[in-house]
Amino acid sequence: MSSKEKRNKLVIVCSKGSLDMAYPPLMLATTGAAMGMEVHLYFTFWGINMISKKTVGSLKISPVGNSALPMPNILGMLPGMTSMLTSMMQKKMDKIKMPTIPEMIKTAKESGVKFHACSPTLDMMGLKRDDLIPEVDDIIGAATYLDLASEDAITLFI
Q: Site residues for its own copies, window 38-57 (CB under 8 A)?
A: 44-46, 49, 55
Stretch touching its own copies by CB under 8 A, among 103-111, 127-135, 140-148: 140-148
CB-based contact 38:10 (threshold 8 Å): yes
- For 64, residues 6+ apart whose C-beta sits below 8 A from its C-beta are 73, 76, 77
DSSP one-letter code for 100: P
Among 93, 100, 102, 131, binds its own copies (CB under 8 A): 93
Between 134 and 150, name the residue whose CB sits nearer to its own copies: 150
- CA angle (107, 111, 116) in 5-degree steps: 85
Q: Does 79 bind its own copies (CB under 8 A)?
A: yes
Stretch touching its own copies by CB under 8 A, among 1-9, 100-108, 109-117, 129-137: 1-9
For residue 67, the SS3 value is coil
Among 100, 107, 111, 155, binds its own copies (CB under 8 A): 155
Stretch touching its own copies by CB under 8 A, among 25-33, 105-113, 130-138: 25-33
What does R_g of the chain's alpha carbons equal in angstroms? 17
